[in-house]
């Protein structure tokens, strides 16, 4: 990572009108959350969940809920890990950028709630949030303590629809309200920060392409080269928790030079 690149990235970000972040598993991994896939993946160890998990849920939501409450295998390990996980310097850097009025919003593929814990407020969670529940009929989100589990499956207090975990299952469509926010943000965005995501899985993969298509800026932070690297204006190879705090410092320096403090 060269200082010149940090300076260049800071300049591009400050010259942009609408900066949006897109984050993926790489950011979570730096908070010691195991990835699903790869050599150390949870699913590599416990086996992949069924690709039609949502259809199983719809066919028998009561049994799905009973299994969820028991939490066996990887579900237990994942839940315990997520409950303990804390934001890392990458999360705090992104929260700082939002507070400075530079980052307009964040689209994340992560379900771990850590962006919210770090202080970001405008977040679209494409794959949901493990700490919340959601009605599959009206998309209302609930804290777990708001929903009684005495009768399974639990029902939505607003519309009596079936309530499930907010985490998007295999085979489940991305909730339309979240997808609309993402599309709206991507259409306004002229500079996207791609952090810890290979931007390989749709719909997330479409957003940087959309920004690129209208000659917007793409800045990538990833340990590895990705499919999108060659399309990026700048690509940092490194840990998000090291690159992003330096980028925030670089932006602050530029703002001081130009006499406007954040």
**Which residues are tagged catalytic?**
127
| Minimum separation from the CB atom of position 139 to Zn ion (A) | 7
| CB-nearer residue toward Zn ion: 81 or 140 | 140
Q: What is the DSSP letter of 144?
A: G
Separation of first and last alpha carbons in the chain: 25
Distance CA 173, CA 161 (A): 16
Distance CA 255, CA 245 (A): 15
Distance CA 65, CA 165 (A): 9
For the record, the structure tokens of 74 come out as: 């990887």
| CB-nearer residue toward Zn ion: 140 or 183 | 140
| Minimum separation from the CB atom of position 162 to Zn ion (A) | 9
| Minimum separation from the CB atom of position 2 to Zn ion (A) | 51
Report the Cα 164 to chain-centroid distance in Å: 20
Q: Are 229 and 220 in contact (CB under 8 A)?
A: yes
| CB-nearer residue toward Zn ion: 2 or 145 | 145
| Minimum separation from the CB atom of position 136 to Zn ion (A) | 8
Residues of this chain that bind Zn ion (CB under 5 A): 135, 137-138, 140, 156, 158-159, 161
Distance CA 35, CA 138 (A): 31
| CB-nearer residue toward Zn ion: 134 or 239 | 134
Q: Are 199 and 22 in contact (CB under 8 A)?
A: yes
């Amino acid at each position: 990572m060269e200082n010149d690149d940090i300076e260049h990235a800071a300049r591009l970000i400050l010259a942009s009108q609408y900066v949006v972040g897109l984050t993926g598993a790489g950011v979570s991994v730096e908070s010691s959350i195991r990835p699903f896939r790869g050599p150390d993946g949870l699913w590599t160890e416990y086996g992949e969940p069924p690709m039609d998990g949502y259809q199983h849920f719809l066919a028998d939501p009561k049994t799905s809920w009973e299994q969820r409450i028991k939490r066996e295998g990887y579900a237990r390990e994942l839940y315990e890990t997520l409950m303990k996980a804390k934001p890392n310097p990458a999360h705090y850097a992104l929260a700082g950028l939002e507070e400075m009025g530079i980052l307009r919003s964040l689209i994340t593929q992560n379900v771990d709630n850590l962006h919210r814990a770090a202080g970001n407020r405008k977040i679209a969670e494409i794959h949901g949030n493990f700490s919340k529940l959601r009605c599959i009929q009206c998309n209302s989100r609930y804290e777990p303590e708001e929903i009684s589990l005495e009768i399974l499956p639990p029902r939505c207090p607003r519309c009596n629809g079936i309530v499930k975990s907010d985490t998007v299952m295999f085979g489940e469509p991305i909730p339309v309200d979240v997808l609309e926010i993402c599309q709206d943000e991507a259409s306004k965005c002229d500079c996207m920060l791609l952090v810890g995501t290979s931007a390989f899985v749709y719909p997330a993969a479409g957003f940087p392409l959309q920004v690129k298509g209208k000659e917007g800026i793409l800045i990538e932070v990833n340990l590895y080269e990705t499919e999108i690297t060659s399309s990026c204006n700048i690509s940092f190879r490194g840990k998000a928790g090291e690159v992003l705090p330096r980028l925030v410092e670089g932006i602050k320096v530029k703002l001081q030079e130009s006499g406007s403090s954040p």
